[in-house]
A and B are shown apart, each in its own frame.
Chain A
Amino acid sequence: MTETLVLDPAQQSSTATKPLLKVEGLSVEFGPKASPIRVVNQVSFEVNPGGSVGIVGESGSGKSITSLAVMGLIPSPPGRIVEGRVEFEGVNLLEMQKSRLPDIRGRDIAMIFQEPMSSLNPVMTIGDQIGEAIKLHEKMSREQRRERIIELLKLVGIPNPEGRLGAYPHQFSGGMRQRVMIAMAVACNPKLLIADEPTTALDVTIQAQVLELMHKIRRTLNTAVLLISHDLGVIADVCERVIVMYAGRVVEDADVKSIFRNPSHPYTRGLLQSIPRLKDERSRLYQIPGSVPLAGTIKMGCPFFARCPDRIGKCAEEMPPMFTVSRSQRSACWVTAGAASEANGGATA
């Protein structure tokens, strides 16, 4: 793997070969068992200790469901995980006793949600809400806890933290609430922070501040980050590795440089072309023709077939495996990746 940015050398030596989070062949279905709709299909990826991985894709590509599955938060019914493994530090979370999951949530894996406006309980002070996680997972006296909460609020850049402990969420702006959410999430120094579209609901300047804060968290706490976003710019800013999802499948998995310099999958290329650039001569932005297929409508072949500019006959019949394009880039496309892979010598399933 290309992830060498592990800050703590001790941790690196012990877990360098072992990923912190390893998702393997994860499939999630919704709806009745007789006619299930598969929204996440055979998704695999890894997050190294201290690493940062981004999952990018359009609405409905299954990226949020993937992150919820890692936390064990898929609403069931109607959803269920039908196959795969979610290994955290070598332990398969899916086989773990349900009653033990709360011990891991918040302490080892924490999550930031998309809507800062409604992710905080309106009738609890923010001090109490941050304190809740600490009280749950760490033995601290009331005074120590108060100190810790103030420290966290300082870390996320809330001015006058002592005075704001007793404030309620409605007294904060969206960006400030997202900071409070981040403080809550990192309260117990989690090893993995899952951020599901953390900046989507914020305006652009606040977005940049929140992303800067996530960098700071990574630097100071050495927390691994799994960032879900539909915004390639956000991903480029924070992540070392990128996973591109389309219609519930991983279509490309590469380090961030390869994705931007040398995208392999036609879908990734389409995504990149549709980003507006400053020196753009085009009068119209590129758009990928068509729209994302409804979940569960693709029964065979590549899910991107109908919209793909490079399609060949084989694509309609057989789902391409993940071809190795280069040392740090894998892509699921018969045409572009298949050719590159043959040139390199052999495919990887």
Chain B
Amino acid sequence: MTDNIKASPEWQSEAVVKRLRKSTAPGQPASVQVFLNDDVSASDLPAKAQQIIDDASASLNLTPDAVKIGKVHRLAKSFSVSSDDADFFDAIAKRDDVKSILESTQPDILPKPLNVREEP
């Protein structure tokens, strides 16, 4: 099921990559969660993730140790990957089989409660 709603500006791939360009530097990697389209088979996911990484790495002539793949979540059709090269994330985000990318670390994912009071 999909709601066919465009992502908010801050979650569009261009905006995410723009932020990643600011947060990454040589020796200072960032981690990204990559979400694939629904038509990607869950059973093919590990191979698909590796292919996406290999393609992006090859397009930028990155060495294998410049990229590190994290956990593959079949249920979410998603995997995490880290690199210190923002162009690598850009190459991934532009693929047709990638639905969206998000920074793995999200400092504002918990809605902060208001009026927190001790109960004596």
Q: Do A and B come from one complex?
A: no
Q: Which residues of A contact B (CB under 8 A)?
A: none
Taking Cβ atoms with an 8 Å cutoff, the residues of B that contact A are none
